[in-house]
Structures are given as C-alpha cells and as structure tokens.
A and B are shown apart, each in its own frame.
Chain A
Amino acid sequence: MFKLQKKETIDQSSLYTVPLIAIGCSLIFVFILFLLIGKNPVLAIFIIFVEPLLSIFGLSELIVKATPLIIIALGLSIGFRAGVWNIGAEGQFTIGALFGGATILAFYPTSGIWILPLSFFIAIIGGILWGMIPAFFKARFNTNEILVSLMLTYVAILFLSGMVYGPLKNPDGFNFPESRLFHDSGTLPIIFPGTRAHIGFLMALLLAGLMFYLLKRHKFGFHVKVSGESLRALVFSGKSTNYMVYLSFIISGAFAGLAGVIEVSGPVGQLVPAIPVGYGFTAIIVAFLGRLNPLGICFAGLLLALTYIGGEAAQIKLGLPNAITGVFQGVLLFSLLAAEAFTNYKVTLKKMRGNF
C-alpha cells in the first residue's frame, strides 16, 4: 500500500500542474462517458470544448458566462483561504440580482447615468446583508455556516420567485412571471456590438487585479493567510476569530451581490425566476481550480464558462441533456481534489504487511 507524508514545502510549479492534471483526468473521464452512452467521443469533445472558441458568438458568450463565475469566486476565495465556508453564494447572488433589479425597475423609465451605480450599490448591500445572516449566527452561536448559508439559498430563490410573481411582475406582461425589460439606463454597455459581451467582464478583471494586490501587498492578505493556517495565530496577531468570519462573508456576499446585479443588468435585462442557474455553486469549483489565486480564478472562470456553453452546444447538436455540464464540473472538482494529494503529500510505497 502507499503512504502519504506531508511535504515540508510545496513546489510552486504545482500551482499550474495540479489544475492541468485535473483537467486532463476529467477529459479522459468524459471521453469514456461518451463511449458508454454511444456518442463519438472525439466529436463530442470537439463540439463541447473547442467549437465554442472558434466563433465570435462563442467567445462573447464565454465572457458573459465567465463574468459572474469570476466575480463570485474571487469573493469566495477569501473565505476559503481563511477556512470559512460560504456555500450560499448562489443565494447572495440571487438577492443581489433582486435588489439591483428592483432598484432599476423602481426608476423606470427615468434615464440617468446614476441609476446603474445606485443599483450596484443596493445589490452589494443586499448581498452583504444576506451573507451576514450565517456570519452572525456563526460568530454569535457557532451555528454551522455551511447549512445556514445553503438554506438561505433556497429562501432567496423562492423570494425572487415570489417577487417576480408578485409586486415586480410586468404590468403589461399578460401575467407572465417576469418583470419589465430594463430600460437603457438600467442596462450595462456592450463591449462588442452585436453580442451580449458587456463591460461587467472588465469589472471582473479589474476586481481580480485589485484582489491580487490586496493579498500580495497589504496587511489584509496576511490576516487572511494566518487565519487559514491557525485561528489561534490570528488571535495572537490581534484580531478576534470572529473578525475573519464576518470579513469573509461580507466580501463574498458583496461580490456575489455584485455578480447578481451585473447578470440582470447585462445579459438577462429583466428579472425572471430562472436567474439563479448555479453560478454560485460553480464558482466554488472556480475558486478551487484557480487555487484561490485571483489570476488563477480568471482562467478557471473562463474554463468553467466553457463547460456551460459546451453543455448548451451538446444539447442542441448531440441531443444530450445540458446536465453534462454538471457531470463535467463534478468530475473536475473530484480530479482536482485527488490531484492535490500528490502536491501536498509525498507518496511513498510500502510493503504490504501480512495482517492488513
């Protein structure tokens, strides 16, 4: 059998090799899966992972899908580094979308350059408030933040649905459960004319740069790192343990809320019950695949965006359910976690003992 020993130092190269190994393993798995369900694996992999990159439309959609993933994952990475588990980013995203969207609708049809900034602000506040609920219970009573944040996701999705079926329903919409289409002052500018690619993507990149700077150069990054390694050490450095809990949820809530409003004022353009499509959960994979590193998260966000677009392509061209996206994402996270073992630990073979 084999034995794992913790390595004293972790080589820097593993930052790149582990995600690449994980992607490779997942592709092999998908290859076998396609063989099993009787599809041509080479063709299927080409349609899912390559073809979307060959057209302007595909590339622009890639940016559209990557934007929320990158932004949410950036926020989550702080908590994950610090050992605080916010699993409810999907809920904070939904609340951000709802608060931001409701603000835009409240000023319909007023035009003004201030409407978007205001709605962004309200959405971020909404995301923070939603994230503060599990943080408060965690800090005050040590209630499990994983379960509370997750339950709040279901509540948020139902809340959005209740609002869209109720007060925010389009008065001229023949009773369909959707809001008005946002007017021009409530819609994000497009970067490439004729596509849905909007300036939210630039904001995501900007945030990644900002996060990179904070973690590298600022005392804040030090606190985050120390908290993840040992909560006791954080206390010695002069911060209470609850500091990191609150901070993690505030940051991840704010980022998820921002991603929510970007989603509704960008590609969606109105409030509908189906706004939450799982970005909040996929962003967890993005954060891990990007090694909790802001630049890594940008690449990982683009890759996972590709699985969404590829899933849609597989649905149209191969007649597969777009659940193939979920399968690939799950396998990717599995492979990544398994591959991590080989970077954090030294694997040594040992002889089987007779009494095993």
Chain B
Amino acid sequence: MDLFIAIFQGIIIASTPLVLAAIGELVVEKSGVLNLGVEGMMIIGAVTSFIVTYETGSHFLGLIAAVISAGLVASLFGLLTQYLLSNQVATGLALTLFGLGLASLIGQTYSGISLDAFPVFDVYLLTEIPIIGSLLFNFDYLIYLSIIIVVSVYYFLNKTKLGLVLTAIGDSHDSAHSLGYSVKMVRLFAIIFGGSCAGLGGAYLSLVQTPMWVENMTAGRGWIALAIVVFAVWRPLWILVGAYIFGGITIIQLHVQALGVNIGAQYMSMMPYLVTIVVLVFISVNKNRLAVNAPNCLNKLFTSDL
C-alpha cells in the first residue's frame, strides 16, 4: 500500500508541470496560434522562480516571478508572430533556443544550490484520513491550482462569451475579424496566458519537484506538453488525463528500473518519448474527431490590419 501511495504521489508530482504547460498551450492553440516555445518559457519560469525564491525566501514571490518572466518572453513571441507576421514554427524554435540559453546564463551562479521544501497544503483533519488523506490531501497547493486552472479553462472556453470568441478566432480568423473582433489582441493575450502557465510549470520543477536549479532541467517536458495538447484533441479536461498518463509512464519507468529489471536505463528512459509518438499516431488516425476539435486556423497567417 505504501508503495502504491508513493507511486500515486510521484505520478501527480511528475505530471503537474505538464498539466500547467499543456493547458496554457491549449488556450494558445485554440486561438489559432502554434507556439513551439513552451520548453523555452518553462525553463525561464524555472530559473526566475528559483532565483527570486532563493533571494527573497518567499515561494509566492518566486511563482509571481515565473508568471511574469515567462509571460514577457511569450509576449515577445506574440509581437513577432502577430504584428510582424513572422513564421510561428521558426519563432517558437527561436524562443526555445533563446530561453534555454538565457536561463543557463542567468542561473549560472545558482547551479547546485537547493531550496527549502515547498509548503504542503495541510488541512489537519483531511490529511489524517487513512489512505485517502495521503492520496488526495497531502500535496502542495500548486497541484490543486493546476486542476482549478484546467477546470476554469474548460468553463472559459465553453461557457463564456470571450471563450467562444477565442475559439471562433482559432477556427476562422477572417470571419471573426469581419464580425469586428480584434483577432491579434485576443491572440496576444492567449499567448501571454500560455506563457505564464508554462512559466508556472517550470517553477513547479525548480521549486517543488527537485527544489534546485539544474541547467536544462526541463529536459523536453515542454515538447511533451505540446504533444499532450494533441493527445487531448484540444479538450481542456483531457489535458489532465494526458498529463497523468505521461507522468505515470515516467514514474513507473523509474520504479521498474529500481526493481532491477535487466533493461538498460537508457532504454527505459525512452519510454515517455516513444509512447508520445505512438499516442500521436493513434490520435491522428481518427480524422473526424480531429476535424471537430482542432482549431482550423492553427499556424495560419492572419494578415489583416490592426
């Protein structure tokens, strides 16, 4: 039972950065923009939150720093792709390369330092409930926040006017423009929101998961977050399913390695990436479901004036 609880908690903790980054990217893609810079925004969030938390001693300020800094680099992507009409794929890649480089540069002197553990959300009575207490009420508050964000995004996209406008812009920017909606403005805000979420995901890595700063510590999670958006077929609640599956594979793979199964560590570590590929292929086979949910204008240029 203890092992089961440990695995369950491990999965939730491994998945939360993916949930945060993927739900942000989902909103961006729903608005019709493909931002491949998730990895870069995550690592910027990771390094700034670490530095601010280390210097001020406040985890909360660290999180704020992650949200702002990643939002800022995302807005750079937004300005380039929306107002200077640059290629989204190339700009996203530039954002990733830039983010990884900049993070290593500013984090250089903080390498290897570790932080105090992130406070656990501890409601006295709830945590005491046997098993369920450890399974549901023994986490840091960011995990609950990530679920709240996902549910809010679901509500926002399906039940609010602005959410429907955003979806409409992603499906047909020309029609939305004709109706008088500001395509670029909405997209810019979506991009900044996506960046902030990715930054929060990065902060989760350097403040909670392994409370220290390590160069390139995102290790491809930003790209997996992009794959999770496709896995979820752009439906917010499915982001949770996708992220927990990917987190699950990572953790179970580690436990299998620890049990001493005689397969090289490298081959076990391939699992999350291989599974991502298999999942992407399976998702793309079902063309109808994709046609209903995928934003039509994803990665298409919108050239009308401001």
Contact = CB atoms under 8 A, between A and B. Distances in A.
B105 A151 contact: no
Interface string B250-294: 000000000000001111011001101100110111010000000
The listed residue with most A CB atoms (<10 A of its CB), out of B87, B108, B270, is B270
Contacts of B91: 333-334, 337
Contacts of A148: 277, 280-281
B303 interface: yes
Contact of B264 (A2, A165, A320, A324): A165
A329 B105 CA distance: 13
Contact of B86 (A147, A166, A341): A341
Given A151-B276, A285-B97, A330-B97, A137 B266 contact: no
Contact of A158 (B94, B95, B266): B266
Contacts of A161: 266
The listed residue with most B CB atoms (<10 A of its CB), out of A159, A325, A326, A328, is A326
A356 B180 CA distance: 12
Contact of A147 (B85, B98, B99, B230): B230
B277 A337 contact: no
A284 interface: yes
B105 A324 contact: yes
A330 B306 CA distance: 27
A147 B97 contact: no
Interface stretch (A44-52, A138-146, A216-224, A229-237): A138-146
Contacts of B87: 337
B84 interface: yes
B223 A328 contact: no
A321 interface: yes
Contacts of A313: none
Nearest to B109: A321
B190 interface: no
Given A147-B223, A147-B227, A334-B76, A142 B284 contact: yes
A323 B215 contact: yes
Given A141-B284, A281-B93, A337-B87, A162 B267 contact: yes
A150 B104 CA distance: 21
A165 B103 CA distance: 30
B222 to A, nearest CB: 10
Nearest to A350: B305
B90 A284 contact: yes
A188 to B, nearest CB: 28
Nearest to B269: A158
B220 interface: yes
B273 A155 contact: yes
Interface residues of A, number: 53
The listed residue with most B CB atoms (<10 A of its CB), out of A151, A333, A340, is A151
A217 to B, nearest CB: 28
B241 interface: no
A331 B280 contact: no
A109 to B, nearest CB: 27
B306 A323 contact: no
B132 interface: no
Interface in A313-356: 320-321, 323-331, 333-334, 337-338, 340-341, 344-345, 350, 356
A356 B305 CA distance: 12
Nearest to B305: A3
A326 B277 CA distance: 27
A276 B190 CA distance: 35
A278 B215 CA distance: 15
A87 interface: yes
Contacts of B276: 147, 151
A166 B264 contact: yes
A146 B87 CA distance: 14
A288 interface: yes
B223 A150 contact: yes
B36 A146 contact: yes
Contacts of A1: 306
B102 A327 contact: yes
The 6 A-B residue pairs with the shortest CB-CB distance, nearest first, are A326-B101, A330-B98, A323-B104, A162-B266, A333-B94, A337-B86
Interface of A: 1-4, 6, 37, 85, 87, 133, 137, 141-144, 146-148, 150-152, 154-155, 158-159, 161-162, 165-166, 281, 284-285, 288, 320-321, 323-331, 333-334, 337-338, 340-341, 344-345, 350, 356
Given A144-B280, A146-B89, A340-B84, 17 more contacts: A85-B89, A142-B284, A143-B283, A147-B276, A150-B223, A162-B267, A165-B264, A284-B93, A321-B104, A321-B215, A331-B98, A333-B98, A334-B98, A337-B80, A337-B94, A345-B85, A356-B306
5 contacts: A144-B230, A284-B90, A330-B102, A333-B93, A337-B86
